[in-house]
């Protein structure tokens, strides 16, 4: 199953990136031409810059998820209802989240316009659009990280925590020296899924801005889709996919090596 649905598509994409193909006629071998064109395209650097912006802002999701998980990890009346409310964004479709925030940002009738007293075209301004979409994406991503940390908190060693409290550890000292070291595997998973989510962001961009205005909010995943589906440039699209895959692979390999070194 892994060979069929993971390894084969990866190898096929790498192979396809060396061809010019519209999906219907015969493929033409072009060597590195797709990569040369990609690295000379201004849209590629705009997409790469936006991916880095997504990455930096998305890194807020794990600490926010941890903070919410610590708040919800208590036995008080009604906490299950509160957990459900915080978990709700995660089960929503990306299309639904995109529509909700599109209405929220609408400068004529949106809630943001009512709060500020005047409309701001967040999704129509090249300076604001990426920040607006990332803010929308952080809503479900934070809920996902919260679930990971809630699961991790249930597996904490109670004896270590009790011993630390007997030694006088409280508040930040207890969190930093006792709780967070035990949550290191959970933090690793939260970071990996957050980084991958930031690099392959697509659905909210498609729903909220379609990469606009003037391709100012496009990212590598949407740029790849745009070239394949709209312009039938499957070889060029595969080259974008290979570059995106390489970026993810470098990060995950580095982070995994760092985690294993810390464990040793």
What pLDDT, on a 0 to 100 scale, did the predictor assign at position 60?
95
Cβ pair 235, 215 in contact under 8 A = no
Q: How far apart are CA 154 and CA 188, in angstroms?
A: 17
According to DSSP, the residues that pair with 28 across neighbouring strands are: 20
For the chain, domain boundaries: 49-207
Residues 178, 184, 185, 191, CA torsion sign: positive
pLDDT at 52: 92
Q: What pLDDT score was predicted for residue 174?
A: 84
Q: Which two tokens stand for residue 105?
A: 């940002």
**Four-point Cα dihedral 92, 95, 97, 102, nearest 10:** -160
H/E stretch holding 20: strand 19-20
> What is the C-alpha separation between 68 and 50, in angstroms, rounded?
27
pTM here is 0.87
At residue 34, the pLDDT reads: 96
Which pLDDT score is estimated for 255?
75
What is residue 155's predicted lDDT score, i.e. its pLDDT?
A: 85
Handedness of CA 134, 202, 186, 152 (dihedral sign): positive
Report how far residue 131's alpha carbon sits from residue 35's, in angstroms, rounded to the nearest whole number: 29
pLDDT at 103: 94
Contact 205, 224 (CB under 8 A): no
Q: What's the CATH architecture for 49-207?
A: Orthogonal Bundle (1.10)
Intervals of the chain under pLDDT 50: none
Q: CA 105 to CA 113: how far, in whole Å?
A: 7
Q: Which ranges of 61-201 does DSSP label H, i.e. alpha helix?
A: 61-72, 79-91, 94-105, 111-116, 129-154, 158-166, 171-174, 180-182, 184-199
- In this structure, the number of other CB atoms found within 10 A of the CB of residue 145 comes to 29
Q: Are strands 19-20 and 28-29 parallel, antiparallel or unpaired?
A: antiparallel
């Amino acid at each position: 199953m892994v060979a069929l649905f993971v390894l084969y598509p990866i190898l096929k994409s790498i192979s396809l990136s060396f061809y010019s193909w519209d999906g219907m006629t015969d493929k033409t071998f072009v060597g590195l031409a797709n990569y040369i064109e990609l690295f000379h395209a201004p849209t590629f650097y705009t997409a790469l810059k936006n991916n880095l912006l997504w990455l930096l802002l998305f890194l807020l999701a794990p600490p926010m998820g941890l903070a919410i998980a610590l708040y919800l990890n208590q036995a008080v009346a009604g906490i299950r209802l509160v957990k459900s409310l915080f978990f709700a964004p995660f089960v929503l479709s990306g299309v639904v989240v995109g529509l909700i925030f599109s209405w929220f940002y609408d400068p004529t009738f949106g809630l943001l316009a009512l709060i500020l007293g005047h409309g701001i075209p967040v999704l129509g301004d090249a300076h604001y659009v990426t920040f607006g979409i990332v803010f929308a994406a952080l809503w479900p991503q934070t809920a996902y990280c919260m679930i990971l940390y809630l699961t991790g908190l249930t597996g904490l060693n109670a004896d270590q925590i009790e011993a630390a409290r007997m030694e006088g550890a409280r508040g930040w000292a207890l969190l930093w020296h006792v709780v967070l070291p035990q949550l290191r595997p959970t933090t690793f998973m939260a970071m990996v899924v957050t980084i991958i989510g930031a690099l392959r962001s697509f659905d909210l961009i498609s729903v909220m801005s379609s990469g606009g205005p003037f391709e100012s909010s496009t990212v590598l995943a949407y740029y790849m889709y745009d070239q394949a589906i709209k312009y039938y440039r499957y070889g060029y699209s595969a080259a974008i996919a290979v570059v995106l895959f390489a970026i993810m692979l470098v990060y995950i390999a580095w982070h995994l090596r760092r985690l294993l070194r810390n464990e040793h």
